[in-house]
């Protein structure tokens, strides 16, 4: 470890590996022990107190190093899993009992002391996966978003990391997902924050087990071909006295002005103009990629990073923007296969452009506009849908301005908004019909996909972190059939490269008919060098024994998905036999092709045809 280099980078705001120096590290310095190092420039004195010295406030006084604001001490014979805190005396003589900002593990809430842990305990066997992974721009991505404590539970206790390893990974693989996105697993004191109000940015939460067990979970995901994405929140942190707030008696991690420091969530905003805070957060993101082999980092509340308090009227926060660009630049440099994802509700430009081209440097941005427009449309009575036809077509008017990801996330299943299926218009049966239609539309639309746990079983109950999903629903035929449908969608999506290869290129998508508002029927196709995939969406309860659309070439089209198939609890009005396109003369030299299909009420239909090679021009 190059201590001088880390310190220099740290104070310049360019450090990607501050966790190699700061925190509690097992080492040998004339004997086995732990070196504790902390940044606290305003402190008068600091002691390390813990279970290894009976919490004696005078037993382990830290020393100022030759580096500005950095304190350190080596303590012999400290066993693993020992609890500790920093006792900080500020310049006014006040005492502050603080958890280690760089702790790798912590006590389980409501206790909050840090715990010693040796990162060398983590073993990996995923070298082949790490070598071949990419940012997946031209590959299928179907993400299963998970709250670890609310997926399955043993009575009042959530599943542990080993239990998730044994059950969640096979479930995700069996149902065709490519990635698991974990709502924040950094340590946090309040269950109801779902991890988005963090206290430990380098500590995997002890609620579900220890770091070795979590690493084993990730390693198994990679063995089974599943990527892992972690949510991170660099906007704000908890106010709790043991945490970062007034860490050394003065604002250190938060802004000095109260109006800037206090967040809308009752937490503290990070001072993203501070070089040391930038290094802290850049290193935290890097830590999860380096130590835990994350395949993606999803950054929460990016609009609050772009604008002061997330309020456009207050203007852009230039210090925060510089932090974002710097973090993404370094993460892209150090981990070129890791996906960087922005949860951004603003229309700020170039979020997914390279920092070298004036962008923020993310790889993907959640398309929250698509999500809002789409769900509002599916909530409407079909009688009125023709007046809101552009709610579905509008997304493609702006889609290629960024690399968008389509999310139906936890945010759409909480706070009285109703679950996704319960948002659908109509009766119980019609809600399922529309939900099947919705997900076929989502999977055929350009862009990578994300669905929150429970969407796949048609859960009507909103998410509650204290309860597991309503797995009993699968004893009901409609819900069981819905899970089968969701699984088939994922597997068909992965099997047809035209649905992902050209997500972010104009050549991968084309409207067939975007203007049929009177019937509220949409049709478009996805394509690559191998095939055309036609998608037809009927948004009303009207049915058509003969519905004709224009198709891009002649040939015989095969239906590969029909949301109204009987195995999905549909009416079974399908196109069971392949359908041949009919040649239509436009003028003397021009011909087009029409395809006539059966179209059930609220049906989503996918048909494919092998793409013909372009004719070679005759030699002159």
Catalytic center residues: 300, 343
Instruction: Give residue for tokens 């009919």.
Output: 582
N- to C-terminal Cα distance for the chain?
69
- Number of other CB atoms surrounding residue 17 within 10 Å: 20
DSSP assignment letter at 463:
P
Cis ω before 601 (30° cut-off from 0): no
The torsion angles phi and psi of 375, rounded to 5 degrees, stand at: -65, -40
| Three-class DSSP category at 542 | coil
Total residue count of the chain as it appears in this document? 620
* Inter-helix orientation angle 428-444/477-495, to 10°: 10
| Three-class DSSP category at 67 | coil
d(CA 563, CA 569): 9
Nearest to 603 by CA among 538, 542, 558, 546: 538
Instruction: Give residue for tokens 């890097």.
Output: 286
DSSP assignment letter at 128:
H
**Residue 90 pairs with which residues in a beta bridge?**
43
Tokens of 407: 């999310």
d(CA 173, CA 190): 31
What is the rounded (10 degree) CA torsion for 127, 129, 132, 138? -160
d(CA 306, CA 321): 6
d(CA 576, CA 599): 12
How deeply is 319 buried, as exposed, middle or buried, from its count of CB atoms within 10 A (0-12, 13-18, 19+)? middle
The torsion angles phi and psi of 78, rounded to 5 degrees, stand at: -90, 120
Nearest to 142 by CA among 363, 362, 447, 399: 447
* Strand segments (E) across 233-270: 236-237, 268-269
* Residues contacting residue 85 through CB under 8 Å, at least 6 positions apart: 48, 49, 50, 97, 98, 99, 100, 113, 114, 242
b (16+ CB within 10 A) / e for 127-166: eebeeebebbbeebbbbbbbbbbbbbeeeeebbbbebbbe
DSSP assignment letter at 442:
H
d(CA 373, CA 136): 26
Nearest to 105 by CA among 290, 287, 240: 287
On whether the CB atoms of residues 463 and 414 are closer than 8 A, the answer is yes
On whether the CB atoms of residues 143 and 451 are closer than 8 A, the answer is yes
On whether the CB atoms of residues 326 and 345 are closer than 8 A, the answer is no
d(CA 298, CA 354): 17
On whether the CB atoms of residues 458 and 479 are closer than 8 A, the answer is yes
d(CA 302, CA 35): 36
């Amino acid at each position: 470890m190059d201590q001088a280099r880390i310190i220099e980078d740290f104070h310049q705001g360019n450090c990607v590996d501050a966790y190699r120096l700061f925190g509690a590290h097992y080492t040998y310095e004339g004997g086995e022990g732990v070196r504790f190092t902390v940044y606290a420039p305003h402190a008068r004195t600091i002691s390390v107190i813990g279970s290894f010295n009976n919490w004696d406030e005078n037993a382990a006084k830290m020393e100022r190093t030759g580096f500005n604001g950095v304190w350190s001490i080596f303590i012999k014979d400290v066993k693993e899993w020992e609890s500790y805190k920093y006792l900080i005396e500020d310049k006014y003589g006040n005492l502050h009992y603080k958890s280690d900002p760089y702790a790798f593990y912590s006590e389980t809430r409501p206790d909050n002391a840090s715990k010693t842990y040796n990162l060398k305990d983590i073993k990996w066997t995923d070298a082949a996966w790490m070598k071949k992974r990419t940012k997946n721009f031209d590959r299928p991505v179907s993400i299963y978003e998970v709250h670890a404590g609310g997926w399955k539970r043993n009575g009042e206790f959530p599943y542990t990391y080993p239990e998730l390893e044994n059950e969640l990974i096979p479930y995700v693989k069996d149902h065709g997902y490519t990635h698991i996105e974990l709502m924040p697993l950094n340590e946090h004191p309040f269950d109801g924050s779902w991890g988005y109000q963090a206290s430990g940015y380098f500590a995997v939460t002890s609620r579900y087990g220890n770091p070795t067990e979590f690493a084993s979970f990730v390693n198994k995901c990679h063995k089974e071909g599943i990527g892992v994405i972690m949510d991170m929140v660099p906007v704000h942190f908890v106010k709790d006295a043991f945490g970062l707030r007034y860490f050394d008696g003065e604002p250190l991690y938060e802004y000095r002005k109260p109006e800037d420091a206090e967040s809308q969530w009752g937490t503290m905003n990070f001072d993203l103009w501070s070089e040391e805070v930038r290094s802290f957060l850049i290193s935290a993101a890097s830590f999860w990629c380096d130590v835990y082999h994350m395949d993606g980092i999803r950054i929460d509340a990016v609009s609050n990073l772009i604008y002061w308090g997330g309020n456009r009227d207050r203007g852009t926060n230039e210090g925060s923007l510089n932090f974002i660009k710097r973090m993404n630049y370094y993460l892209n440099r150090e981990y070129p296969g890791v996906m960087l994802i922005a949860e951004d509700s603003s229309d700020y430009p170039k979020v997914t452009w390279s920092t070298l081209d004036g962008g923020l440097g993310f790889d993907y941005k959640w398309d929250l506009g698509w999500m809002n427009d789409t769900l509002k449309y599916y909530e409407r009575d079909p009688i009125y849908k023709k007046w809101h036809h552009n709610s579905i077509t509008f997304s493609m008017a702006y889609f290629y301005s960024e690399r968008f990801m389509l999310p139906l996330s936890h945010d759409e299943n909480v706070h009285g908004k109703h679950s996704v299926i319960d948002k659908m218009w109509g009766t119980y049966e019609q809600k399922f019909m529309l939900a099947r239609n919705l997900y076929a539309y989502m999977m055929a639309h350009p862009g990578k996909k994300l669905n929150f746990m429970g969407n796949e079983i048609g859960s009507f109950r909103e998410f509650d972190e204290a309860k597991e999903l309503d797995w009993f629903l699968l004893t009901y035929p409609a819900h069981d059939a819905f899970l089968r449908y969701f699984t088939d969608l994922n597997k068909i999506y992965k099997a047809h490269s035209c649905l992902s290869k050209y997500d972010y290129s104009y050549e991968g998508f084309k409207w067939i008919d975007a203007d049929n508002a009177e019937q509220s029927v949409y049709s478009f196709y996805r394509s690559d060098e191998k095939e055309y995939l036609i998608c037809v969406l009927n948004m009303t309860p009207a049915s058509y024994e003969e519905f004709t659309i224009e198709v891009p070439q002649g040939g015989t089209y095969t239906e590969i998905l029909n949301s109204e198939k009987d195995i999905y609890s549909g009416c079974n009005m399908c196109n069971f036999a392949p359908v041949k396109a009919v040649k239509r003369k436009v003028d003397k030299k021009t011909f087009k092709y029409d395809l006539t299909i059966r179209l059930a009420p609220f049906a989503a239909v996918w048909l494919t045809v092998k793409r013909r090679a372009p004719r070679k021009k005759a030699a002159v």
